[in-house]
Amino acid sequence: MRNFFSNKKLIIIMVVVIATFGLISASVTLSNKRDQPAFIHQVGNDTIGIVGDVVAYPVNGIKNIGNNVTSLFNTYQENRRLKTRIDDLAQTKAQNGTLKKENHALKKQVKLNKTLTDYHKLSASVISRSPNEWQDYLIINRGSLSGIKKNMPVVSESGLIGRVVEVNKTNSKVSLISTDKSLSNKFAVEVLKKDGNDASGIIGSYDKNDNMLVMTNVTSTTGVKKGQQVVTSGLGGLTPRGLFVGTVAHIKKDDYGLVSSIYIKPATDLNNFTVVTVISRDVEDD
């Protein structure tokens, strides 16, 4: 009995296989003979197509999302690289600007050193300048080990900026010509006139509003005109004669019209310099 059922199952399987191959053969034969497949065949194909679309849609959606995420990540990485390059470019431009500025100052300093043939000269760099005492003091990187002494005048580019007031081993403190804190640091100056009768005085103060040096105790303003040069007079023995201070801007009388002050445009920008030259008298005066 069991053998009968086993043989029966085998017969059924063989019949199904034969029928399946028969249907496939018939479908192929009919599809070759007809312009369109049979209705059942069409339904099967359409069903398979719909099922394929249903399955493919979310798969393609997930694939597109993955591609978009990958593209977004690549864009983010590229933006980071570009931003880094922009930051590097900005830093390079800033560095180049600083180097050009320093090179310009050094060139002017070299030109200045060639004109001060009657003096000993020593170049130095500004290493500190307090915002609270911007118009009063600065620190340079030269001291007694370099031959710096107290009261030596200091120039920048083409003009006088101050005097050494404190000397350490490796650095020195410079009192600027624009300070109002000490009368002992004032410079004796003179206006050079064509007739030779130079007008003498001292740098008495600094006008912060107009960025002008104010020459007071003027002996005479007769013949003093705008644009005339102002130099150190050498009076007092601390500063050599002939150091360029600036040019006459205008003359101003006091409220009573009696005492005159000469306003001087500094030869150098007192707010902006990084390289200076310290000057001592020539060998014969030492």
The per-residue pLDDT for range 193-229, each reduced to its tens digit, is 887 788 899 998 899 889 999 999 888 888 899 999 9
Retrieve residue 78's tokens.
């590229």
User: pLDDT of 45-74, one tens digit each?
Assistant: 555 555 455 555 555 556 566 666 677 767
Instruction: For domain 120-285, give the CATH number.
Output: 2.40.10.340
Q: How far is CA 105 from CA 101, 148, 256, 277, in A?
A: 6, 21, 43, 11
| Three-state secondary structure call for residue 155 | strand
Helix (H) or strand (E) holding 70: helix 39-115
Instruction: Please give the pLDDT value at position 21.
Output: 58
Report mean pLDDT in 10-residue bins for the chain, 286 residues.
Answer: 56 69 58 53 52 53 63 73 65 63 74 69 90 88 93 88 93 91 74 84 89 90 90 82 90 76 91 88 47
User: What Rg do the C-alpha atoms of the chain give, in angstroms?
Assistant: 47
Domains in the chain: boundaries = 120-285
**How many CB atoms within 10 Å of residue 275?**
20
pTM: 0.63
